[in-house]
Amino acid sequence: MMKRDECFRILARHITDEAVVATYSSAVDWVNVSPRPLNYLSIGAMGLDSSHGLGLALGRPDKRVVVLQGDGSLLMNLGSLVTIAAVAPKNLVHFVAHNETYEANGGHPIPNKKVDFAAMARSAGYAATYDFSDLRMFEQQVAHVLEQDGPVFATLHVEPSKPLTYDYASLYDPKKRKAFKEAWNS
Amino acid sequence: MDAPAKAAETAPRRLNGAGIIAAIKASGIEYILSVPDIVTSAGLLAPIAHDKDLRLIRVCKEDECIGIAAGLAYCDKRALILIQHTGFLDSINAIRGVAVEYKQPICMMIGLLQHAPDVAPRQSPRYGVRIVEPILDDMGIAHHLVSVDGDVAQIKPAIDKAYAESHPVAFLIGRSPS
């Protein structure tokens, strides 16, 4: 089992001008690792991360989009796997941090901890799927995951974090949405 | 009653789908995001699916449309969400967060399922139809009833305004377009 923030530190070394869509615990960890205007954090409703990512990928096929979704969030929008696979954006990489809990809502378990998200993405029709539970393996393969034609899906099996501080006012600051749009369209 | 008014009253009450699609295109819409709706199925969704000027994205559940449309808006791309009022009701939290609180130009065309076209939606015997306009009002979302051809002219200015001012708008389709 890996730690989410450790995975994100490795991921951050490979991120340049991609939009990174993240929410809740993943957003907190990602922003701590990599604060940047191209972070897209205002999702508005749990589960919509992957759909926002699809919209960004469709609108700018010349750029790449990385989604950092939680397992509870993806469970609320499983249909988006099918929609994304059908649209088949080559520029979308979709990670799910599988910590088996609704971490931002008290750490309660998801309904079935053993759910296989990578298998779901594969059967939905993603171009490539991965399942990482070893940090060294993730470090070795992350560059390939990010650069290949999508839609690409990768499960990150991670431990629940120590209690995080959720500064929603900062995460959802309208100035950040404005900064994102300016950076994304520059 | 003067002659023009009488003529208008006796004119056939109909809604032409081709006119709506023309208005959608004139509004700069590139993407249609949809879950099928029986009210608009034959008159709008079916022709849109074959229209080379519009890209149809079929989604599994209506709230996906809200996120996709927002992402597209950040790319300065215009989208129209074509759904049934049941899907609108199911998507309220996404609309609340993205469209209203984040002030995104989410444009929705909502078929009123099992609605009698010549009855005002607020007077509908169908509970699900009757609550749509009051919910939109409470959420502060501009809305327009499109039941006859004369209503179609509202579409382009309302979409232009939504994108210019970055706020949501809803068109309620009160009659199956032909």
Number of domains, chain A = 1
Q: What is the pLDDT of residues B114-156, one digit of tens each?
A: 888 889 999 999 999 999 999 999 999 999 999 999 999 999 9
User: Is B159 within a domain?
Assistant: yes
- Mean pLDDT over each residue of chain B, to the nearest integer: 94
Total tally of structural domains belonging to chain B = 1
Q: Which residue range is the domain that position A63 belongs to? A: 2-184
Q: Name the residue among B81, B172, B171, B83 with its Cα closest to residue B119.
A: B172
B133, part of any domain = yes
Q: What is the pLDDT of residues B11-57, one digit of tens each?
A: 668 999 999 999 999 999 999 999 999 999 999 999 999 999 999 99
Tally Cβ neighbours within 10 Å of residue B50: 8
pTM of the model: 0.95
Does some domain include residue B65?
A: yes
The ipTM, to two decimals, is 0.96
What pLDDT is attached to residue B11?
Answer: 60
Q: Which has more pLDDT, B105 or B3?
A: B105
**Within a domain: residue B2?**
no
- To the nearest 10°, report the CA torsion of A108, B89, B59, B158: -130
Any domain includes B14: no
Instruction: Give residue A163's pLDDT.
Output: 76
Residue B17 lies in a domain: no
Residue B21 lies in a domain: no
CATH of the domain at A48: 3.40.50.970
Residues found in chain B: 178
Place of tokens 């490539």: A128
Residue A63: strand, helix, or coil: coil
Which chain A positions have a beta carbon within 8 Å of B72's beta carbon?
Answer: 55-56, 58-59
Residue B69 resides in a domain: yes
pLDDT beneath 50: ranges in chain A:
none
Indicate yes or no: CB of B102 within 8 angstroms of CB of A55: no
Distance CA A184, CA A118 (A): 29
Q: Does any CB of chain A come closer than 8 Å to the CB of residue B30?
A: no
* Residue B53 structural domain: 29-173
Which residues does A83 contact at the CB level (< 8 Å), separation at least 6? Answer: A51, A54, B57, B58, B59, B60, B64
Q: At B87, which CATH number?
A: 3.40.50.970
A13-45: per-residue pLDDT in tens?
Answer: 999 999 999 988 899 999 999 999 999 998 899
Report the run of H or E that residue B163 belongs to, with start and end: helix B155-165
What phi, psi does A109 have (nearest 5°)? -70, 150
- Any chain A CB within 8 A of the CB of B139? no
